[in-house]
Structure 1
Amino acid sequence: MSEQVPIDREAGLRMYADFLRAHPDVPPQPDVEVVCFGDRPDLADELGGFIVDGFKRATASLVAGYVAAGEPLPPLGAYWVCCDGSGQPRAILRTTELRLGPFRSVDTQFAWDEGEYDRTLQTWLAGHRSAYERQCARLGIEFSEDLEVCFERFVLVWPPDLAD
Structure 2
Amino acid sequence: MTEIAAASSHSLPLDTDAAARMWDAYRAAHPEATIASEEYTVEHFGDSARLADELLEIVLSGRKRATAELVADFVAHGDPVPRIGSHWIACDGTGAPRIIIRTTELRLGPFASADAAFAADEGEDDGSLESWQREHRRYWIRVAAARGAVWSEDDEIVFERFSVVWPPEHASTPVAPR
* TM-score w.r.t. length of structure 1: 0.94
> Of 109, 112, 127, which residue of structure 2 is paired with 1:101?
109
Code of the residue aligned with 1:89 in structure 2: it is P
Kept in 2, the 8 Å contact 1:93–1:156? The answer is yes
- SS of 1:26's equivalent? helix
Code of the residue aligned with 2:166 in structure 1: it is W
Matched, 1:19 2:18: no
Kept in 2, the 8 Å contact 1:59–1:152? The answer is yes
In the other structure, the counterpart of 2:90 is 82
Kept in 2, the 8 Å contact 1:13–1:32? The answer is no
Deviation string for 1:19-71 (max 9, x for gaps)? 11111323354431010001110110000001111010000000111111222
Kept in 1, the 8 Å contact 2:108–2:159? The answer is yes
Deviation string for 1:115-160 (max 9, x for gaps)? 1121111111111111101111022221111111000000011110
Kept in 2, the 8 Å contact 1:19–1:158? The answer is yes
Deviation string for 1:1-36 (max 9, x for gaps)? 751311111111111111111113233544310100
> Of 48, 51, 61, which residue of structure 2 is paired with 1:53?
61
In the other structure, the counterpart of 1:127 is 135
Code of the residue aligned with 2:153 in structure 1: it is E
Kept in 1, the 8 Å contact 2:45–2:52? The answer is yes
Code of the residue aligned with 2:151 in structure 1: it is F
Kindly tell me the number of residue pairs found equivalent between the two proteins: 164
Runs of 4+ in 1 over 4 A off after TM superposition: none
> Of 80, 87, 105, which residue of structure 2 is paired with 1:72?
80
Following the alignment from structure 2 to structure 1, what is the Cα–Cα distance between the partners of residues 81 and 87?
13
Once the 2 structures are TM-superposed, how far is the Cα of residue 90 of structure 1 from its aligned partner? 1.0
Code of the residue aligned with 2:158 in structure 1: it is C
- SS of 2:80's equivalent? coil
The answer to which of 14-23 and 2-11 deviates more is 2-11
In the other structure, the counterpart of 1:145 is 153
Following the alignment from structure 1 to structure 2, what is the Cα–Cα distance between the partners of residues 63 and 83?
21
- SS of 1:56's equivalent? coil
Kept in 2, the 8 Å contact 1:95–1:155? The answer is yes
Code of the residue aligned with 2:97 in structure 1: it is P
Cα gap change, 1:66 to 1:2, in 2 (>3 Å): closer
